[in-house]
Amino acid sequence: MNADALNGRLLFAIPKKGRLHEKCMELLAGADIQFRRHNRLDVALAMNHPLALVFLPASDIPSFVGNGNVDLGITGHDVILEAAIEDRVAEVQRLGFGRCKLQVQAPEAGPIKSVNDLAGKRVVTSFEVLAGAYFDKIDASMGLVGESKTRIQYVGGSVEAACSLGLADGIVDLVESGDTMRAAGLHAIETILETEAVLIRSSTPKHAEHTALISLISSRIAGVVAAGKYVVCEYNINRDRLPEARQIAPGRKAPTVSPLEEPNWVAVKSMVIKKEVARVMDELVRIGAEDILIFNLDNCRV
């Protein structure tokens, strides 16, 4: 695809593979961004918006958004920090998927039980910037300088094998379920940061004509994320107990309250976080709510 086909289009960078890709595809479908991606092409034109999707490695997306012509992107919060580009990109919103922890790990059967034990030794990682900054602080607090400082070595993959293959005394790597870490005989001794997927844009807008479309796409994505996080809880309750009910299920901003024909009774609708539904329903029953119904959301605007 030549550059002329992209002229005048908003450019939206999506991870081309890895742990974020499939979730991003679901997010684009929920936001009604319709496209066809041809085999072996990393650019796809949207059919219902003046927008082009650019499929890139997640680690490259902050640079393309911050320094290039890409207007929007989805990547990991950890990747932005590793690229040291926080001043040139803005996080529009956290997306609620791709959650994991960047952790310091060491052999479970070995003598290293804390980061202080690892200081001054060999650490292998794909996160050279973050690991370097972290251990610089540890080294400084322990008075380690020059040759005695922690040695950070970059490898692009198979980080968890570095200890067993004699390359490292400890590693810094992302941990999602922990299965890979445990299979490699490692255990986490410290968490550097918690991360998840984020929608980002350039801190300095590049194309004024795209401002409205950026807002539209951002709003749609926020609606899809909220629909995945919340359900609608509807119930009837005596108006005298309404203050208590509002404490139990306050909604995102406020519940919707409508009068019923039954004297002093009201119908209430409130958005409730999915993982809290059982507790909320139990609490509403306890204060006298009746006809409690839960509705899943396909999509919404928030």
Does residue 85 lie within any of the structural domains?
yes
SS3 string, the chain, reads CCHHHHCCCEEEEEECCCCCHHHHHHHHHHCCCCECCCCCCCEEEECCCCEEEEEECHHHHHHHHHHCCCCEEEEEHHHHHHCCCCCCEEEEEECCCCCEEEEEEEECCCCCCCHHHHCCCEEEECCHHHHHHHHHHHHHHHCCCHHHCCEEEECCCCHHHCCCCCCCCEEEEEECCCHHHHHCCEEEEEEEEEECEEEEEECCCCCHHHHHHHHHHHHHHHHHHHHHHEEEEEEEEEHHHHHHHHHHCCCCCCCEEEECCCCCEEEEEEEEEHHHHHHHHHHHHHCCCEEEEEEECCCCCC
Using CA atoms, how far apart are residues 44 and 183, in angstroms rounded to an integer? 39
Whether residues 85 and 201 share a domain: the answer is yes
- The mean of the pLDDT values for the chain is 93
Whether residues 178 and 201 share a domain: the answer is no
| Confidence check: pLDDT of 139 > 60 | yes
Q: Which of 3-7, 18-22, 33-37 has the lowest mean pLDDT?
A: 3-7
Between 156 and 12, the higher pLDDT residue: 12
pLDDT for res 29: 93
Whether residues 154 and 280 share a domain: the answer is no
Does residue 225 lie within any of the structural domains?
no
Phi, psi of 177 (to 5 degrees): -90, -25
| Confidence check: pLDDT of 2 > 60 | no
pLDDT for res 52: 94
pLDDT band at 86 (very low <50, low <70, confident <90, very high): confident
Does residue 133 lie within any of the structural domains?
yes
When pLDDT is averaged across residues 131-158 and rounded to a whole number, the result is 94
Whether residues 242 and 279 share a domain: the answer is yes
| Confidence check: pLDDT of 288 > 80 | yes
**The two three-digit tokens of residue 281, written as one number:** 């329903």
Whether residues 91 and 240 share a domain: the answer is no
Q: What percent of the chain has pLDDT over 90?
A: 85
Please say whether the beta carbons of 194 and 179 come within 8 A. Answer: no
pLDDT band at 5 (very low <50, low <70, confident <90, very high): low
Residue where a domain terminates, one of 195, 215, 241: 195
| Confidence check: pLDDT of 138 > 60 | yes
Please say whether the beta carbons of 132 and 75 come within 8 A. Answer: no
Whether residues 93 and 111 share a domain: the answer is no
When pLDDT is averaged across residues 14-20 and rounded to a whole number, the result is 88
Radius of gyration of the chain (CA): 24
Stated pTM of the model: 0.85
pLDDT in tens, 201-229: 998 888 888 999 999 999 999 999 999 99
CA 140, 142, 145, 149 torsion: positive or negative? negative
pLDDT in tens, 58-75: 999 999 999 999 999 999
pLDDT for res 19: 79
When pLDDT is averaged across residues 143-163 and rounded to a whole number, the result is 93
pLDDT in tens, 232-262: 999 999 999 999 999 999 999 999 999 999 9
Using CA atoms, how far apart are residues 103 and 174, in angstroms rounded to an integer? 6
Does residue 215 lie within any of the structural domains?
no
| Confidence check: pLDDT of 185 > 90 | yes
Is residue 115 classed exposed, middle or buried when 0-12, 13-18 and 19+ CB atoms within 10 A define those classes?
buried
pLDDT for res 17: 86
Using CA atoms, how far apart are residues 94 and 199, in angstroms rounded to an integer? 6
Does residue 183 lie within any of the structural domains?
yes
Does residue 64 lie within any of the structural domains?
yes
- How many structural domains is the chain composed of? 3
Using CA atoms, how far apart are residues 50 and 44, in angstroms rounded to an integer? 11
Q: Which of 29-43, 73-87, 119-133 has the lowest mean pLDDT?
A: 29-43
For residue 253, the enclosing domain spans 230-296
Please say whether the beta carbons of 270 and 232 come within 8 A. Answer: yes
Whether residues 33 and 60 share a domain: the answer is yes
Report the candidate in 99, 76, 95 with the shortest Cα–Cα distance to residue 218: 95
pLDDT for res 93: 94
| Confidence check: pLDDT of 40 > 80 | no
